[in-house]
């Protein structure tokens, strides 16, 4: 792919992502009118598609910071889902609950019918092999070249021979447009290439669920669009449940088949993308259109 030129990318790495909703603040609704935004409540099971992941009335606090406040959310099987919400709303905290890096104070997180918080460590370790996780910036090991980075989960979790590993790594690197780049070191790569390398690494164990935490952060709109296309293509090829977390509305428009709008630790509305973009809910309308007018106040 020709979209990556490291010198240019460095200039584009800076805080682009945080300005997407510039000027709009996300204050909680006044205490006197808590139902103003008609939060999604109760257990879900509303969709026709079986759920890959379910949050059931999940509460999570850090000290006095009540982050998840009765989160009910269902991520359908076999689709690319978006969880969209402003920064600091608890999106990354959600991902950590899905993979069992954080546990709920109350409620349950179910993955393929198994309760993550009640799994013994050994079973959780097994279950984690189902997940591919793409953290911000790809989270590559700086001291390893791309090939070794992508091969790492296979060496760690399987007994495969180096020959078998090479076949998988080469295929996955080609799939994300990094064929032949295996000897490059992470610091020689643009932000977009690092993300694609992280994507390749997240795929090598044939995950049934792939989680992307703000894959668009630090990328300009063109590279974001290309990455979104890549996510769709790879999903079409491999299937499973893909969950893309973002605060960027344009990304949601591009990839999301199913969208959950998260705000202040709860889902305001969720459903098929077309329904969400036609929503009557004033918060959802304002947030998805990126407009200044609406229930979200100006700073």
Ligand X SMILES: Nc1ncnc2c1ncn2[C@@H]1O[C@H](COP(=O)(O)OP(=O)(O)O)[C@@H](O)[C@H]1O
Residues near ligand X (CB under 6 A) are 62, 65, 67, 85, 87-93
Closest approach of Cβ 113 to Mg ion, in Å? Answer: 27
Closest approach of Cβ 91 to Mg ion, in Å? Answer: 5
What does the block give as tokens for 265?
């630790």
Read off the DSSP letter of residue 296. S
Best CA proximity match to 55, nearest among 130, 125, 116, 126 = 116
Q: Could you give the CA distance from residue 80 to residue 52 in angstroms, rounded to a whole number? A: 11
Q: Could you give the CA distance from residue 136 to residue 150 in angstroms, rounded to a whole number? A: 16
Q: Could you give the CA distance from residue 195 to residue 201 in angstroms, rounded to a whole number? A: 10
Best CA proximity match to 174, nearest among 128, 237, 256, 218 = 237
CB nearer to Mg ion: pick between 194 and 285:
194
CB nearer to ligand X: pick between 147 and 242:
242
Crossing angle of the two packed helices 146-157 and 162-175, in degrees rounded to 10: 130
Using CB under 5 A, which residues numbered 85 to 124 contact Mg ion? 91-92
CB nearer to Mg ion: pick between 81 and 92:
92
Question: Does residue 190 interact with Mg ion by CB under 5 A?
Answer: no
What does the block give as tokens for 125?
């370790």
Cβ atoms 273, 284 nearer than 8 A: no
CB nearer to ligand X: pick between 90 and 207:
90
Closest approach of Cβ 159 to ligand X, in Å? Answer: 34
CB nearer to ligand X: pick between 149 and 224:
224
Encoded one letter per residue, x for contact with Mg ion by CB under 5 A and - for no contact, window 53-92 reads --------------------------------------xx
Closest approach of Cβ 133 to Mg ion, in Å? Answer: 13
Q: What is the dihedral sign for C-alpha 226, 229, 230, 231? A: positive
* Residue 87 interacting entry, from Mg ion, ligand X, none, C-beta within 5 to 8 Å by type: ligand X
* Residue 179 interacting entry, from Mg ion, ligand X, none, C-beta within 5 to 8 Å by type: none
CB nearer to ligand X: pick between 62 and 125:
62
Residues found near Mg ion in the complex (CB under 5 A): 91-92
């Amino acid at each position: 792919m020709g979209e990556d030129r490291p010198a240019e990318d460095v200039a584009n790495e800076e805080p682009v992502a945080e300005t997407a909703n510039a000027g709009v603040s996300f204050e909680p609704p006044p205490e006197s009118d808590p139902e103003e935004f008609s939060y999604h409540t109760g257990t879900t099971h509303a969709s026709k598609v079986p759920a890959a992941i379910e949050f059931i009335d999940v509460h999570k606090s850090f000290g006095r910071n009540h982050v998840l406040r009765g989160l009910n959310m269902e991520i359908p099987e076999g689709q690319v889902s978006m969880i969209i919400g402003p920064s600091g709303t608890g999106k990354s905290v959600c991902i950590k609950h899905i993979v069992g890096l954080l546990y709920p104070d109350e409620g349950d997180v179910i993955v393929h019918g198994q309760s993550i918080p009640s799994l013994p460590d050994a079973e959780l370790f097994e279950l984690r092999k189902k997940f591919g996780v793409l953290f911000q910036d790809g989270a590559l090991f700086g001291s390893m070249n791309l090939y070794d980075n992508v091969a790492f989960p296979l060496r760690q979790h399987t007994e495969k021979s180096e020959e078998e590993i090479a076949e998988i790594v080469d295929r996955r690197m080609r799939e994300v447009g990094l064929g032949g780049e295996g000897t490059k070191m992470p610091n020689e790569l643009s932000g977009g290439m690092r993300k694609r390398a992280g994507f390749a690494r997240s795929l090598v164990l044939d995950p049934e669920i792939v989680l992307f935490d703000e894959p668009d952060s630090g990328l300009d709109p063109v590279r974001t669009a290309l990455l979104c296309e890549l996510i769709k293509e790879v999903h079409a090829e491999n299937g499973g449940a893909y969950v893309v977390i973002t605060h960027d509305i344009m990304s949601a428009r591009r990839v999301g088949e199913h969208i959950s709008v998260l705000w202040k630790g709860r889902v305001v509305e969720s459903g098929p993308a077309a329904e969400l973009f036609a929503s009557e809910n004033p918060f959802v309308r304002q947030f998805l259109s990126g407009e200044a007018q609406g229930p979200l106040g100006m700073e």
